Amino acid sequence: VSPTIYDVAERAGVSIATVSRALNGRSYLRAETRDRVLQAVRDLHFVPNGAARGLSSGSKRVLGLLFIRSSGADEMLELEGESLLFTDSVIRGAELSAYKCGYSLLLSGVDSGDLSPDVSALTGKCDGLIVLDRVVSERRVAPLAKRIPTVLLAGSGRSRSAVTVRVDNAAAVQQLTEHLAVHHGYRRMAFLSGFANSPDSVARLEEFRRAAAEYGATVEDDPLWSSDYTATGAVHALDRRLAAGRPLPDAIACANDQAAIGVMHALQRAGVRVPGDVAVTGFDDIPVGRHVLPPLTTVRQPTQQLGSAAVVALVKLIEDSGQFQREIVLPTRVIIRASCGCDLASPHAYDRPMEADLAT
C-alpha cells in the first residue's frame, strides 16, 4: 500500500538510483532533477522504508536503551513511583541526543528479577546499545560488547570491554563524608547500600569507607546495612537495626534518595529525631527530597546528561570505530539541606526552598 522508490521514480521520470540520491543528498544531482523527485515524493507522501534502508546500508539509525523495569510498580508505595525519575530522565537525555545525532531511541525494559535477559530481540533491531546499571552482570558485558557497540551507563568503570559513562561517585562521597565528619563532627557512621550487584552502590560504599577512615570515623560493618534502593526496603532494614537495640550511628548515608526517605521515616516513627539524633543523607536528588521533613541532604547527578553523554559516546563508537574514550565521568554536586544537621539558613544552604525556585 505504501509507495516505494519505484513509484517515486516513475512519477518523476527518473531511475530509482536518482530518487535515492535526491533523498540522501550524497551525490551530485541537477537541481531541476532533484526538485522533480522531491515533488514526486511529496505528491505520493513517500516515506522510505527504514527496514530496507537498514538492510541495504547496514545502519539502522536506531540505538537501543536497556533499563530495569521496577518490579510490580502497581503494588508499590506511592513514593516508589518517584523512582521513575532517574531512569526516565536518562531516557529523555538520551532521546534528545540521539535525535540530534540522527538516530532514534529504541526502549527495552528488563524485568528486575531476570538474570539472563533476552537481549537479542533488541540487538537485532539497533546499531548499538546503551545498558543501564544492573541490566547485565559485569561478566556478561564482554560477550555482548563484542557483538555490538555497547555503552555501559553507571557501571563501575572496571569493565575493559565496553565504554562506560558514569558519575563521579568518589568525589561526591568524599565531599559528603567530609561534610559529615569534619563540618558536623560525626564519628560513628553507617552506609545503607542499594543492590549488591549495582556498581554505583558498590562504588559509593567503597568510597564512603575510605573517606570515613581518612577522617577517623568508623563505619558500621553489618550485613543488615544493605537493601534494594527502595523506601520500603530501607524501612525494613532500619527496623531490624532498631530492633538490635545497639546505639545508633551518628549519621547514615544512603545509596539513593528513596532509601534515605525510608530511613528517615523508620527513625522518626521510632521516636528518633532526624537530624537531632541521627543525620541522614541520600543520593540522586529526586524532586521530593526538598519537600520531606527535614529536607534531604543529597548528591545531585546530571541525569539527562548521563543519557546524552552515553548516546554521544555510542554514536562515536558506531561511526568512527577508531579511537574513543574508555570512560566518561560526569561531575556531581553535593546539595546541603537539613537532614545532615545543617541549618537551612547557614552558609551551607546552597539549595533554596521552593518559593525561591518559583520566583525565578
Q: Which of 46, 103, 208, 229 binds DNA (CB under 7 A)?
A: 46
CA–CA distance, 215 with 8 (Å, rounded to integer): 72
Residue from 99, 185, 222, 319 binding its own copies (CB under 8 A): 99
Does the protein bind its own copies through residue 205 (CB under 8 A)?
A: no
Restricting to residues 25-44, name those near DNA by CB under 7 A: 26-30, 32-34
Q: How far is CA 177 from CA 59, 72, 206, 288, in A?
A: 47, 34, 12, 23
Q: How many CA atoms lie within 13 A of 4 on its CB side?
A: 8
Report the partner that residue 84 touches, choosing among its own copies, DNA, none (CB closer than 5 to 8 A by kind).
Answer: its own copies
Q: Which residues contact 230 (CB under 8 A, 6 or more apart)?
A: 76, 77, 80, 83, 258, 259, 262
**329: exposed, middle or buried (C-beta count within 10 Å: 0-12, 13-18, 19+)?**
middle
Beta strand 279-281 with 251-254 is: parallel
Q: Supply the minimum distance, in Å, between the C-beta of residue 312 and DNA.
A: 22
Cα atoms in the 13 Å half-sphere on the side-chain side of 277: 10
**CB neighbour list of residue 269: distance below 8 Å, 6 or more residues apart:** none
Shortest distance, position 299 Cβ to DNA, whole Å = 44
Name the strands in the sheet holding 279-281, side by side, starting at the edge strand that comes first in the sequence: 218-219, 188-192, 251-254, 279-281
Among 35, 39, 43, 52, binds DNA (CB under 7 A): 52
Of residues 237-266, those binding its own copies (CB under 8 A): 262, 265
Nearest approach, Cβ of 5 to DNA (angstroms)?
Answer: 3
- Give the three-state DSSP class for 274: coil
Residues between 1 and 30 with contacts to its own copies, criterion CB under 8 A: 2
* Of the residues 57, 71, 104, 120, which one makes contact with DNA according to CB under 7 A: 57
Residues that bind its own copies (CB under 8 A): 2, 45, 47-55, 60-62, 69, 73-74, 77-79, 81-82, 84-85, 88-89, 91-92, 95-96, 99, 104-109, 120-126, 143, 147, 231-232, 235, 262, 265, 269, 287-288, 290-292, 304, 354-355, 357-360
Residues that bind DNA (CB under 7 A): 2, 4-6, 13-18, 20-21, 23-24, 26-30, 32-34, 46-49, 52-53, 55-58
